[in-house]
A and B are shown apart, each in its own frame.
Chain A
């Protein structure tokens, strides 16, 4: 089973984690001013890259904290994990 390195707990088995989709999707600053197209983008459209993807995970059966990871969607290799308050690290 794949090990996912929780930034707080260290490497744990994948079954302990819950997937949260694309990271760094901010809630619209002026939500009342959004057009239908902009709402659609925010609610339904997410990046879907073949390659490195910054995404959210929660250590649901562990410390229960959320964090971000950059994972390659081709190899499933975790290139970096980082806390939600940190910038996306540069990965190669």
Chain B
């Protein structure tokens, strides 16, 4: 019996697991800028500080291992089709940076613009979606309204039959949206930041923030005191705890957010599909796993795990949309801790403490912003002044009332 060429191993086209991409230095006694949190945002911030602003006496302090928090746990959806002008600014800035990021970092990040469909299942959904498409277009963001047949054309495996409980009436479509390989994104930022002189310090938990006369002077850590000219917080789900160390209260709540993957399957799902109404979103990773998630667990939680009924619900929702997934098996489920803000928009900027900068409140949707927030936050830190794209996202907006309400575009849709 003869056999032809064996089928390619799934993922054979992906780069090999890297050898060491950064040094593993001990902390110095002092830095110009200390970034707290070695997730995507902290690493990107350090990269842009070094690359764009020439500030290289920088440490990123991470209590665990680099990018082991939400950066390791997110479902990698990237898009910029938010409703309001303020959001369009920062998310579209990020998307433009994603489009050049692989070349800029000289590292493969598997950024794949396979598009995103945000489904509409009711008349109200349809109206909101069309409104959002129009708002996106006015802001120069690619967006289309598709009817059910148009949805089927983009994603043939989706069930658009009218006799399901929540029929698909149409969808918004952003062709430039997509996914990237989250770990590679973190490693890319980390390795270049390291090469530019940034110290990436792991197993170093910040336990206190020192101030004198209203100005930040350093941090206390499990690896000793570190003096700092400026301190920048990028601690996602732990932001409340860190801000409290400097006497600052934040309007965020920490919740578990879960996701799951199936075993590796043949490529069947060409795009990203999200539905706020039936409460699930699904894509297929480069290697072949179906990746799906839904909303947060309702209760506050720091446990990096959630309740099983959340998983059951998102699986039943995805089966209604994709009957062919019925035989797929769940391989793994997990959770991260996300920092949810009252208006589903982030908080990025200065704080009442001089030299202390805040980046939090990204909740369920901050991966897509990684290069954009890194760039804008670095600008904010370097100039002690917000970048125009993060100017609307102050902590003060909860007092002035100038909220950026993105619940419609953000809810289940990360």
Contact = CB atoms under 8 A, between A and B. Distances in A.
Contacts of A36: 399-401
A18 B301 contact: no
B399 A40 contact: yes
B398 A45 contact: yes
A75 B256 CA distance: 12
B64 interface: no
A2 B307 contact: yes
Contacts of B251: 40, 44-46
Interface string B373-395: 00000000000000000000000
A71 B309 contact: no
Contact of A1 (B298, B302, B303, B308): B308
Nearest to B400: A36
B307 A73 contact: no
A19 B308 CA distance: 16
B303 A76 contact: yes
A50 B300 CA distance: 9
A72 to B, nearest CB: 9
A87 interface: no
Given A15-B309, A45-B249, 8 more contacts: A14-B307, A14-B309, A19-B298, A39-B399, A40-B398, A50-B238, A71-B299, A74-B302
Interface residues of A, number: 25
A21 B253 contact: yes
Interface centre among B241, B299, B302, B342, by most A CB within 10 Å? Answer: B299
Nearest to B297: A19
Contacts of B276: none
A50 B302 contact: yes
B8 to A, nearest CB: 42
A74 B299 contact: no
A24 B181 CA distance: 44
Contact of B299 (A15, A45, A55): A55
B252 interface: yes
A48 interface: yes
Interface in B212-270: 238, 240-241, 249-254
A1 B241 contact: no
20 contacts: A1-B307, A19-B299, A21-B253, A36-B399, A36-B400, A39-B399, A40-B251, A40-B398, A45-B249, A46-B251, A48-B240, A48-B250, A48-B253, A50-B254, A53-B300, A55-B300, A73-B254, A73-B299, A73-B301, A76-B303
A48 B300 contact: yes
A74 B303 contact: yes
A46 B253 contact: yes
A30 interface: no
Contacts of A40: 251, 398-399
Nearest to A48: B240
A44 B253 contact: no
Contacts of A85: none
Contacts of B309: 1, 14-15
B371 to A, nearest CB: 28
